[in-house]
Amino acid sequence: MDYKKILELVIDNIDDGIFVVNKKGEVVFYNESADNQAGVSLNNALNKHILDIFPRLTEKTSTILRVLRTGIPIVGDIQEYYNHNHKKVTILTTSTPLIEDGEVVGVVEIARDMVKYGDFNKKIDKIRKNKGKKISYEKTIYSLNSILGESKEILEVKERIRKIAETNSSVLVSGETGTGKELVVQSIHNCSTRKDKPFIAQNCAAIPVTLLEGILFGTALGSFTGSKDSPGLFELADGGTLFLDEINSMDITLQAKLLRVIQDGYIRRIGDKKTRKVDVRIIVAMNINPIKALEEKKIREDLFYRINVLSIEMPPLRDRREDIRVLTDYFIKEMEAEVGRKTKGLSEDAANFFYNYDWPGNIRELKHVIEHSVIMSEGDKLTLEDMPYLLKDRSSLNEENVKEARCEIVFDKPLKSILNEYEKQVIEKALKEKNYSINDTSRLLNIPRQTLHYKMKNLGISIRKTL
């Protein structure tokens, strides 16, 4: 047997994240699950220092760096952090030193995503506890008024929510991470006649298919070892709404079963002969483009056409820049109230930057950047210096160009000046390569034209000068 192949198969299919760093703390390997946890793809993470990938960790708080220093394993540490996509991640980690010739040459960390498991365990417990009792359900916190924004796109979304809420059909909500899908889904429920009935949300990612099937459909006594007679979420949500998040991660065969429920309105607990009628509105969400999901066979065609009749696509923040101002003002006020201090809002530079930045983490990213800066700022205005550095770090520069333009670094200035110098060289090189066409250069660097203009202005690059 080819043990290398076996190992690769295990590593690629395991739900736990596996991170391996060298003795300098730079990533030399991580698997797909680690990729999801970190919110940065392996390609972008390779050879980067672990603190660059997890900007909120420090030498002290990072278990990997602690193990690297001490050579002592840390087992069962629970860590909570916001990843590169500003998603909160709670992981249970085991970090083990890699020792060669008595020297620590790296660390392997295995990280279990507790949010997904916690959620799952809670649900199973609830199902069991509720057996035969009146069911208590999750509270929703968002309604239509929670959706801020004055752009045409957002007003249209709200109008659609109102219309969709009047029906009972299934709905597909799509949009990049952090665009407000959760708000939309809960608003549909809360605007509908089902609002006083259960709203139950289930994330379909990373739950093994057999478990998810049991969670959704319920199990009959003895249908498999140790199984109890338990209702599933379809039954728990009867009369209300069932929200299935990250539907593209749901196993294709289970998607077929879901389609059947949507069509017939009947479910059958696993191992049960009896079918049961359920009255549940199903809302599904995905943070990848639905057409792409279809092409990549992450969603069944028949299910897609059924749920896509009523759909809402959340526009990314960079496509409705006029909302940045409204959201910024709101989040600043909200945060000021929370921490009990008053600021004079964004500095002019910061406001310009906010307007031109691409916000890959969308509103979630904007919100966290503001929260961070209201806490960190010392002056009365919130300046770019108060923003977490990842904001400046993520100027979407294409790796290839960065490598090509890499210059000799001399530590004779503050970091910010060195970075500016570097960024200037990258942009100048890109401009030259594209014959100083702003359109082509912005495409090459994968940044909007406005951002390129803004950066050129800030870094003092004029085309004439470059020529």
Ligand X SMILES: Nc1ncnc2c1ncn2[C@@H]1O[C@H](COP(=O)(O)OP(=O)(O)OP(=O)(O)O)[C@@H](O)[C@H]1O
Shorter beta-carbon distance to ligand X: residue 51 or 205:
205
Report the distance separating Cα 390 and Cα 379, nearest Å.
21
* Binder of ligand X out of 62, 93, 192, 287 (CB under 6 A): 287
* Binder of ligand X out of 25, 39, 97, 178 (CB under 6 A): 178
| Minimum CB–partner distance for residue 91 and ligand X (Å) | 17
| Minimum CB–partner distance for residue 291 and Mg ion (Å) | 20
182 binds Mg ion (CB under 5 A): yes
Binding residues for ligand X restricted to 32-91, rule: CB under 6 A: 87
423 binds Mg ion (CB under 5 A): no
Q: What is the maximum span of the chain, computed from C-alpha positions, in angstroms?
A: 78
149 binds ligand X (CB under 6 A): yes
| Minimum CB–partner distance for residue 182 and ligand X (Å) | 3
* Binder of ligand X out of 62, 95, 140, 179 (CB under 6 A): 179
Instruction: Identify whether the C-beta of residue 179 lies closer than 8 Å to the C-beta of residue 315.
Output: yes
| Minimum CB–partner distance for residue 86 and Mg ion (Å) | 12
| Minimum CB–partner distance for residue 150 and ligand X (Å) | 10
User: 3-state class of 78 per DSSP?
Assistant: strand
| Minimum CB–partner distance for residue 430 and ligand X (Å) | 31
| Minimum CB–partner distance for residue 321 and Mg ion (Å) | 22
316 binds ligand X (CB under 6 A): no
388 binds ligand X (CB under 6 A): no
Per CB under 6 A, the segment of 41-49, 67-75, 178-186, 223-231 that binds ligand X is 178-186
Shorter beta-carbon distance to ligand X: residue 135 or 148:
148
User: 3-state class of 464 per DSSP?
Assistant: helix
Q: Which amino acid is at 271?
A: G
* Binder of ligand X out of 177, 241, 343, 373 (CB under 6 A): 177
16 binds Mg ion (CB under 5 A): no
- Which 8-state DSSP code applies to residue 341? -
| Minimum CB–partner distance for residue 258 and ligand X (Å) | 19
Instruction: Identify whether the C-beta of residue 387 lies closer than 8 Å to the C-beta of residue 373.
Output: yes
Shorter beta-carbon distance to ligand X: residue 179 or 255:
179
Instruction: Identify whether the C-beta of residue 282 lies closer than 8 Å to the C-beta of residue 262.
Output: yes
* Token reading at 66: 């602690």
Per CB under 6 A, the segment of 51-59, 179-187, 247-255, 456-464 that binds ligand X is 179-187
Shorter beta-carbon distance to Mg ion: residue 201 or 427:
201
Report the distance separating Cα 377 and Cα 259, nearest Å.
51
Report the distance separating Cα 432 and Cα 240, nearest Å.
59
147 binds, among Mg ion, ligand X, none (CB under 5 to 8 A by kind): ligand X
Q: Regarding beta strands 199-203 and 241-245, do their DSSP bridges make them parallel or antiparallel, or are they unpaired? A: parallel
Q: How many CB atoms lie within 10 A of CB 35?
A: 17
Report the distance separating Cα 438 and Cα 395, nearest Å.
16
- Listed as own residue / partner, the contacts of 34-43 with beta carbons closer than 8 Å and 24 or more positions apart are 34/111, 36/113, 36/205, 36/206, 37/83, 37/89, 37/91, 37/111, 37/113, 38/83, 38/84, 39/83, 39/84, 39/85, 39/86, 39/87, 40/83, 40/84, 43/399
Q: Which residue is nearest to ligand X (CB)?
A: 180
Instruction: Identify whether the C-beta of residue 349 lies closer than 8 Å to the C-beta of residue 211.
Output: no
Binding residues for ligand X restricted to 182-211, rule: CB under 6 A: 182-183
| Minimum CB–partner distance for residue 59 and ligand X (Å) | 29
Name the CA radius of gyration of the chain, rounded. 25
84 binds, among ligand X, Mg ion, none (CB under 5 to 8 A by kind): none
Cα–Cα nearest to 210, from 143, 120, 106? 120
* Binder of ligand X out of 112, 364, 372, 394 (CB under 6 A): 364
The binding site for ligand X (CB under 6 A) comprises 87, 147-149, 175, 177-183, 287, 363-364, 367
The binding site for Mg ion (CB under 5 A) comprises 181-182
